[in-house]
């Protein structure tokens, strides 16, 4: 799909789901704790969360790092920024700013960031432009953390295995060697990688609701009739493959890549 049409479609998807986003996705915290442990013990940290969405991970980061951290939250989608601001302020968190912005042209000053993070969003960006911006905005000893699911991880989750066309449709995700290549091309290097496995349990009704409510933006790539047909096949696949439909278990897997200049 043409990149501009695809960006527009993605943006309209995130506008539609902004108000309910944090209830659709499961918020894990082990990678946030891992990031905290990787940070050097500076007294004041300036960070940016790019593609921050409604701020569910901005909030976890700020709760974990406390008052010593100031976070710039940036997202293409104005609705997401609106929900993020009220969500964080409702929790009594004020050491952040939030503004709409494009990962290809970050509204940040050169060499001002100690850390840049991005969660579940890099597959929506122009990766080479984003990494060039990361290079520009990070201080010399700064680090960036990219948290995403790889294409092969996506194909092994409950949707990739049982929802027809899910992995084929989601062709925006990267494999590790593609990320490695893009990082090298941006003149940066990988410092660490870590895989996170998350055990999930759900019942069939909740899974069906998640799909209908576009739990992943992938579902928005189906035509209406394609989605309906695939959802029926998904239900049957689950019935055929799991004995207890109240207790369907699987594992979601993600990767965290830490990079430096």
Ligand X SMILES: C[S@@+](CC[C@H](N)C(=O)[O-])C[C@H]1O[C@@H](n2cnc3c(N)ncnc32)[C@H](O)[C@@H]1O
Q: Counting contacts by CB under 6 A, is residue 51 touching ligand X?
A: yes
Q: Does residue 51 contact residue 122 with C-beta atoms inside 8 Å? A: yes
Extract the tokens encoding 259.
């990079």
As measured in angstroms, the least distance from the Cβ of 91 to ligand X is 15
Q: Counting contacts by CB under 6 A, is residue 115 touching ligand X?
A: no
Q: Which residue of the chain is nearest ligand X when measured via CB? A: 53
Please identify, using beta-carbon distances, which residue of 60 and 114 lies nearer to ligand X.
60
Q: Is 205 buried (19+), middle (13-18) or exposed (0-12) by CB count in 10 A?
A: exposed
Q: Counting contacts by CB under 6 A, is residue 119 touching ligand X?
A: yes
Q: Which residue has the tokens 């710039």?
A: 72
For the chain, what is the radius of gyration of the CA atoms? 18
As measured in angstroms, the least distance from the Cβ of 17 to ligand X is 9
Please identify, using beta-carbon distances, which residue of 75 and 114 lies nearer to ligand X.
75
Q: Counting contacts by CB under 6 A, is residue 133 touching ligand X?
A: no
Spatial neighbors of 31 by CB under 8 A, at least 6 apart, are 147, 194, 196, 254, 256
For β-strands 45-50 and 113-119, DSSP reports them as parallel
Q: Counting contacts by CB under 6 A, is residue 75 touching ligand X?
A: yes
Q: Shortest CA distance to 7 belongs to which of 126, 173, 132, 148? A: 126
| Member of 69, 80, 98, 116 binding ligand X (CB under 6 A) | 80
Q: Counting contacts by CB under 6 A, is residue 222 touching ligand X?
A: no
Q: Counting contacts by CB under 6 A, is residue 83 touching ligand X?
A: no
Q: Counting contacts by CB under 6 A, is residue 163 touching ligand X?
A: no
Backbone angles phi and psi of 95, in degrees to 5: -85, 55
Q: Counting contacts by CB under 6 A, is residue 14 touching ligand X?
A: yes
Interface residues toward ligand X, by CB under 6 A: 10, 14, 25, 51-53, 56-57, 75-77, 80, 102-104, 119-121, 124-125
């Amino acid at each position: 799909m043409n990149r501009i049409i695809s960006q527009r479609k993605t943006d309209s998807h995130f506008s539609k789901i902004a108000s309910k986003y944090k209830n659709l996705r499961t918020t894990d915290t082990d990678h946030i704790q891992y990031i905290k442990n990787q940070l050097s013990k500076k007294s004041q940290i300036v960070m940016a969360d790019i593609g921050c969405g409604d701020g569910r991970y901005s909030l976890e980061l700020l709760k974990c790092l406390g008052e010593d951290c100031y976070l710039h939250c940036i997202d293409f989608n104005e609705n997401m920024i609106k929900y993020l601001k009220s969500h964080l302020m409702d929790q009594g968190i004020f050491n952040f700013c939030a503004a709409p912005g494009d990962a290809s042209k970050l509204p940040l000053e050169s060499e001002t960031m100690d850390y840049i993070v991005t969660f579940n969003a890099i597959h929506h960006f122009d990766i080479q432009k984003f990494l060039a911006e990361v290079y520009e905005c990070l201080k010399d000893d700064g680090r960036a953390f990219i948290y995403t699911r790889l294409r092969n991880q996506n194909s092994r989750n409950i949707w990739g295995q049982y929802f027809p066309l899910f992995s084929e449709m989601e062709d925006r995700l990267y494999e590790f060697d593609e990320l490695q290549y893009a990082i090298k091309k941006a003149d940066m290097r990988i410092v660490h990688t870590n895989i996170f496995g998350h055990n999930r349990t759900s019942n069939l009704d909740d899974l069906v609701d998640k799909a209908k409510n576009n739990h992943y933006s992938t579902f928005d790539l189906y035509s209406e009739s394609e989605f309906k047909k695939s959802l029926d096949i998904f239900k049957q696949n689950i019935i055929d493959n799991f004995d207890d439909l109240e207790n369907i278990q699987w594992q979601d897997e993600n990767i965290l890549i830490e990079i430096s200049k």
